[in-house]
Structure 1
Amino acid sequence: MSQMVGRDCEYEASKASFLDPAVPQIAAVETFLAPKPAATAHLKNAVIQHLAPYTPEIALAAYQEAIEPWFPIATRLQGRLQFTWDETPLDVALLCLSISLLTTSPSSTSKSAGNASEPESIYLRTKSSLALAEGLGLNSFSIIHSRILVTLFEVSHGLYPAAFISIGATVRATDALEVHPREDTLQHGSPNGAASDDEIIMTWCGILVLDRYIAAESGPRSSLTRSRTEWLHDLVKSAICPSLEPNQDRQSLYSRFARLVEASSLLDKMYTTISNPTSEQTFNMEEVMLIVKTSMSLQTILSEEIPPEDHLYSAGLCLCHVTLLVAYEKGTKGPCSVNAAENWNSLATTMLISLLSTITSTVEVFATVKRSIDFSSFPPFVTSLVYKAALITTERLSMGLDADEGLARLRTLRKFLRVVSKRWLCCERYLKLLDEDTTPRMLKTIEQRQGSS
């Protein structure tokens, strides 16, 4: 063709893909064409470029202000960071890239313009950098923490099946530190390369919470860590059982995180009991009732430990509510003639309505923008509770139940999800799912009343 028109051929798509600095495949090609030491240096240089204009000091502040208050897994970050990126180890730089990812808010401007948002760009760069580190055989607790924060980002922004896949890789990567240790593996915990006990505990606590949450979000599938519950409980019991330490500060970050681990365990048990029941109906009912009682006890403890104005920011309290919602919803649909639980059906209905009202009243002040949300302390797990409450309310309205009270409740819950979607995009996913389950007539009524309010 070049002879017919008298000029050389140009292939714009291919040319653009090699010249665009945002495309992460370039670093991959350069990395794998080089010997391992040079490849590792290439990767670190690429990560440092991605971090600009971030500094180690900014990265630490971002973690301490916007992640640590509700997900304190990187207990040794401050001690591992250096004054410059050149002095900072590669695995710690990767962790800081994940911190940058999770703390960057979505931009409506780039989205409306049809361009990739800043979080999307950082996400792809972080994922590709972690894949390159894995390919080079690099692994450490800082890399595990980076994986955890990436998975948390995927959960927070409704990126499925990515989150479902990532949690599996994170569990295996953590196992690999013990099962497949390497002399050249990046480690910075202690002089002999071993991590500290608190780091191991907090790492597994973060994995447990995410694994159980993702399993609950993904339907009747078992969490990956369920088969090793006893071993993990023995490992982290000093953290998840604050009563073992009489002088422990119940308001500390780690105590609150321990409560979240406890709440996630109850949620996992509830989904297991309901999704995979035994053939003994009486046993199943007794198990549900036991989990309900335990959840209510933990809920009472949390309500006493946390000031009322901070209830919205408690992920542990949130997961307790989700557990109870799941139980009560199942109870309203189940049989009501099982020995001691023969009144469970009517009791579950009463308790369900009460809990839905509590959740709605908690978020109402934020849904009406009378009070702004402090997103630096706001865990994205709370969105699942509001979605679950809105979904149950929608289903009851479609069955002709709750009438105007349910409709007002649904409007508030949907408004709250819309407000929070400015920070956590999983809310957009939840709203789309709610729209799919809402009849056109009901949706039109909601929109009309929202417009008039």
Structure 2
Amino acid sequence: MEARLRVHLAKKACARCRSQKRRCDRATPECGLCRRLRQACHYEGLVISSPRSIPSSSIDAELPLETLSPGHIKDAIAKKLTSAPGDIFVTYIQSIHPWFPIIAQTLQDQLPSSWNEASLDDTLLAFCINLLCTSPSTSSGDGTPSDFQSAYLRVKSWIAVIEGLGVTSLKIVQARALVTLFEVAHGFYPAAYISIGTTVRAADALKDHGYLCPSSSSSTSDESGKEEAIVIGWAIRILDRYITIQSGHRPSLTRFLAKGIHDINKIPWPTGLEKDTRSSLWQLSRAFEASTLLDNIHNVLHNPTPEQAFNVEEIGLLVETSHSLRTLLLEEVEDADQIYSGGLGLCHIGLLLAYENGTKVQITDGQSLTCQSLATSSLTPILTTITNMVYPFVSGIQVIDLDRLPPFNIFLVYKAAGLVTERMWMEADSSEALRKLRILRGFLKLVNARWLCCEYYLDILNEDTAPRILKSIEGG
């Protein structure tokens, strides 16, 4: 990865960084600062061939415009699938299902033996599973996209054409959700922000908000269809809320769909499904609960009342509820498996956001003083908890199972590293802060072999870290 970055460094800083006299990492096709700020990046005298681009002729060759039809698209997708339908489903069950179980296991019994007999939505869903289960590879360095990048761009073009032809089904919505998850996991922004919008609308077109079973899901039984409809509703909301946290102050797209859901009794649960705390569906429901609280915290923080810029009472209630959910999760999850719990990760993110903002409250009275003091005293212990959670994997005491790691938990580690960096000047013992930073950043470097969002987060951390601190971290 470092060799690839060196090949694509520009000789001079970009025009925006030079005009604003800011440090530029000279990365191409856009520098880290411009990418983070979502600003146009331009290098004078440099013609850049983006590693994330692919010649349109290759797509056109696979999908001739004069013969476009669902059958042609299905054949084009099937040609790229080298594994049998059953094998791809087994890969999903082993790698993705434990933390993102949006496809019913009964699908395995309904899959055909070959792709010649498969439907368009089966082949598209299989390709998206393959894409998400594939570890990233680097480009050749000459501007040609890697197979990993080409597969991503190819599926995006297929989905666009399928949408244009008016073809939709629950499986296509599931495929869209997997592509959005892929973009989240590999730090493809603003692509993920755009994709979640189209996924929400695609689900809306099926009247699928987690309560109704789309009639188009004819390939599954009624019970399996209802289960999948509910679960995809959870998954879309989790993705939407998570992406909202990444994207700033805007409200989540699905906020109006699930107001007042704070406990398991109010979650629409698949009929007849046993609530086994060890099952992947139960864990997804916990992640859904935690994402609801996270969304509510985000909403309160970014929507001040006329009387209060920081609503102490409401934030206090949400923090208390988050602590209650955290306690339940710690009882349900083994210590060694905490890093694999999406619900626990989202719960911790919500608490970090609340404490971070609480430490910055302007003191105007006794209540605001108490709030700031409580947030300040609570932030350090949770940062220590997160550091201790990932330490065994960084130190080599435990081997991390990257297939079981939800990408949502990577943001938690990045957020913790950012807060430790910000608070270094407040620490009486800077060596302890440096120790935490080495562990947290070491975890991001470790997981980057599977999820490229780690590289995205490390770029942001480097941009926000003073050179002397970076030197101290690397020198350790």
Task: Identify the TM-score tier after normalising by the shorter chain.
Answer: 0.7 to 0.9
Look up the SS of the partner of 2:132 in the other structure.
helix
Deviation by residue 1:32-80 (Cα, 9 ceiling, x = unmatched): 312x6xx2221111000111x1210111111100010000011153244
CA contact (8 A) 1:189 1:195 kept: no
Distance 1:241 1:348 in 2: 34
Return the offset for 1:402.
Answer: 5.1
CA contact (8 A) 1:66 1:377 kept: yes
TM-score (norm 1): 0.85
Deviation by residue 1:141-191 (Cα, 9 ceiling, x = unmatched): 000000000000000000001000000000111111239xxxxx9642458
- Pair 20,331 (structure 1): closer, same or farther in 2 beyond 3 Å: closer
CA contact (8 A) 2:107 2:220 kept: no
2:102 pairs with 1:73: yes
Look up the SS of the partner of 1:166 in the other structure.
helix
Distance 1:347 1:186 in 2: 52
Q: Name 1:326's counterpart in structure 2.
A: 353
Q: Name 1:92's counterpart in structure 2.
A: 122
Deviation by residue 1:362-397 (Cα, 9 ceiling, x = unmatched): 101111233221112111111000000000111112
AA of the residue aligned to 1:154: E
Q: Name 1:197's counterpart in structure 2.
A: 226
Q: Identify, as 1 or 2, the structure richer in helix.
A: 1
Q: Name 2:170's counterpart in structure 1.
A: 141
Q: Name 1:393's counterpart in structure 2.
A: 420
AA of the residue aligned to 2:286: R
Distance 1:42 1:331 in 2: 56
Count of residues in Structure 1 that have an aligned counterpart in Structure 2: 416
2:351 pairs with 1:313: no
CA contact (8 A) 2:99 2:284 kept: yes
Q: Name 1:287's counterpart in structure 2.
A: 314
- Pair 111,441 (structure 1): closer, same or farther in 2 beyond 3 Å: farther
CA contact (8 A) 2:427 2:433 kept: no
What is the correspondence of 1:7-156 to structure 2 with a 5 Å cutoff? 23-28=58-63, 30=64, 32-34=65-67, 39-51=69-81, 53-75=82-104, 77-108=107-138, 110=139, 115-156=144-185
CA contact (8 A) 2:301 2:310 kept: no
Larger Rg: 1
AA of the residue aligned to 2:235: G
Distance 2:397 2:120 in 1: 44
Return the offset for 1:303.
Answer: 0.3
Distance 1:21 1:60 in 2: 30
Distance 1:191 1:404 in 2: 59
Distance 2:392 2:342 in 1: 18
Return the offset for 1:245.
Answer: 8.7
Distance 2:418 2:355 in 1: 14
**CA root-mean-square deviation:** 2.8
Return the offset for 1:256.
Answer: 0.7
Runs of 5+ consecutive residues of structure 1 not aligned to the other structure: 1-18, 180-184
Distance 1:202 1:128 in 2: 26
Distance 2:300 2:168 in 1: 36
AA of the residue aligned to 2:66: L
CA contact (8 A) 1:152 1:210 kept: yes
Q: Name 2:383's counterpart in structure 1.
A: 356
CA contact (8 A) 2:312 2:371 kept: no
Q: Name 1:212's counterpart in structure 2.
A: 241
Distance 1:273 1:381 in 2: 21
TM-score (norm 2): 0.81
Runs of 5+ consecutive residues of structure 2 not aligned to the other structure: 1-53, 209-214
- Pair 238,300 (structure 1): closer, same or farther in 2 beyond 3 Å: closer
Distance 1:191 1:440 in 2: 59
AA of the residue aligned to 1:333: K
CA contact (8 A) 1:101 1:122 kept: yes
- Pair 187,33 (structure 1): closer, same or farther in 2 beyond 3 Å: farther
Distance 2:375 2:176 in 1: 39
AA of the residue aligned to 1:166: S
- Pair 355,186 (structure 1): closer, same or farther in 2 beyond 3 Å: same
Look up the SS of the partner of 2:80 in the other structure.
helix
AA of the residue aligned to 2:232: T
Distance 1:324 1:139 in 2: 38
